[in-house]
Amino acid sequence: MLKTLIHCAECNCHYCECYVKSSQDHYEVHSKTFWSGSAYEKEVTLDASILGDIPAVYRVPKPAPHQMPVIGVYIDPRVRTGFRYKIRPMQALDAAPLSVKPRYLFDGKALTLQSIGRGYARRLTFEPLNSTLNENANYFWTDSRPEGFVFEIEAVSVGDKFTIYDANHEPQGFLEVVQQQKSQIELDQKIVEDGSIEKKVKINTLCKVEWYENDAATKLVPVTGVALLKKGRGNAEITKVVNVAIGIKQLKKGYVLKPGVKTSSRKITVNGGAINDIPCQYSLVGLERYELPVIGTYVDPRIIAGFYYRVRPASSRRHLFDGRSLLLQSIGMGYGKRITFKPDSLNAPNNYFWSDSHPEGVGMEVRAIHPDMKFYITGNEGLVIGEAVVFRADLPQVEKKTEYVDVPGQRGPAVEKHVQVDVTCHVKLATTGGGSADSEVHLMKVSGTALVRKDPSQPIAKLVKLYNVGLDSQLNLLFAHSQTELTFHPLP
């Protein structure tokens, strides 16, 4: 157990490393270190007695700024339970320079440190990832290797998602960590009176960023910042990331990242002047990225009569019209535009609303695939290889693009929508004889892009095909191996 911590009056840190804040880069590592170095600055001396422990002294290669040494009875004071670390063996002091870095333990994964044992050889136990609680193989002793180990903290991991906030605490978009650009460096550690631990960790990552203002376009850009971690009784959790800079050429600074993606905080701004309508500007909060906005006098131009839509108020998770997908028949004119769908009864039509009926706005999701739709499946050269019936179509269907195609002899163009869908189907593959009556039925998840076309002379758009099909089944590997491209064609 650590008894004392070093306090630096220069930067007010409370552990073995001193850091100062730089005006150019949010934090820089201070040149002063807790351990003493040699004249050649290639090795350092670690004295466990300074930590109030057994007076053992170790000479090791000089650790990098992101590395925390652990060897024998010496455990860097920044190494704390409840935080995640990547561990690899330290290079021996007399070892020749390595052309390949030593491999990390635990398959290179960052694991949460659960406990630090006592005694001369201290057992370091980590979370039982890929193990069981009763048979946890994720541990080692500090003297397992005479050259020691180095720990690297990981505050932000690949796959973590955050909401982006500006200086006014307004949400501006989302991001997802895709890759670690550089090692994460612990900048500061503070032990609060209640026993909780707060850490600051500098991160440098590559992220997928989605800005509200860019119509849900996703870009891959570098993101840097300082992650704030706090550990109470349980494991450490990231509270937020401050001093965030996003991008390279068009560098955007001063953002704050908060963990999680809160769709209820999603904000978009629309202007009727951009679509040659009444130049009114509106802000909507709470729409999903696949929902097209309708508010006040504004109706998204991608909303076209003849296609099926599902409607949801921005302030509610419940859809209008009992959540059904309805055929849009017309969009009225004027200030409050009447949005009319196919009625359940001609004598009492009530499937409609006005664009200004909901002050917070509504979102309209295009629907290309519906339950009970039937398809025949073709492979290369149009060979029929089976049939499919849609069992469930609950997941969102995302419009990828809308195209206008000129039709010879017609006044107006045809409208084609490409919609990404994920549905569940009963699939029946054909037998070797070409029939399908006696084939086994498989329940599969099917994903692909639906092509829906509305000709100028037709009031209702029709599904043309489902292409770029992928099956959540081992059969998908078979088709991929044979380079067979599956296409679903609708049956009448």
**281 within domain boundaries:** no
**351 within domain boundaries:** yes
Same domain assignment for residues 350 and 411: no
Give residue 24's pLDDT.
34
Same domain assignment for residues 326 and 440: no
Same domain assignment for residues 251 and 320: no
Q: What's the farthest any 2 CA atoms get from each other in the chain?
A: 95
**356 within domain boundaries:** yes
Q: What is the mean pLDDT of the chain?
A: 85
Lowest mean pLDDT among 34-38, 115-119, 382-386: 34-38
Among residues 424, 423, 467, which one has the least CA distance to residue 443?
424
Same domain assignment for residues 41 and 123: yes
At 441, the pLDDT band (50, 70, 90 cuts) reads: confident
Give residue 434's pLDDT.
46
Same domain assignment for residues 363 and 384: no
Same domain assignment for residues 55 and 109: yes
Instruction: List pLDDT tens digits, range 148-205.
Output: 999 999 999 999 999 999 888 888 888 999 999 999 999 999 999 888 999 999 999 9
Same domain assignment for residues 333 and 417: no
Give residue 483's pLDDT.
64
At 30, the pLDDT band (50, 70, 90 cuts) reads: very low
Percentage above 70 pLDDT, the chain:
86
**287 within domain boundaries:** no
Q: Which domain holds residue 56?
A: 17-153
Same domain assignment for residues 252 and 301: no
**56 within domain boundaries:** yes
329, 352, 367 — which closes off a domain?
A: 367
Same domain assignment for residues 130 and 167: no
104, 122, 153 — which closes off a domain?
A: 153
* Rounded distance between C-alpha atoms, residue 427 and residue 237, angstroms: 45
Instruction: List pLDDT tens digits, range 295-330.
Output: 999 999 999 999 999 999 998 889 999 999 999 999
Same domain assignment for residues 382 and 480: yes
Q: Specify the number of domains making up the chain.
A: 4
Average pLDDT over residues 373-389: 89
Can you give the pTM of this predicted structure?
A: 0.65
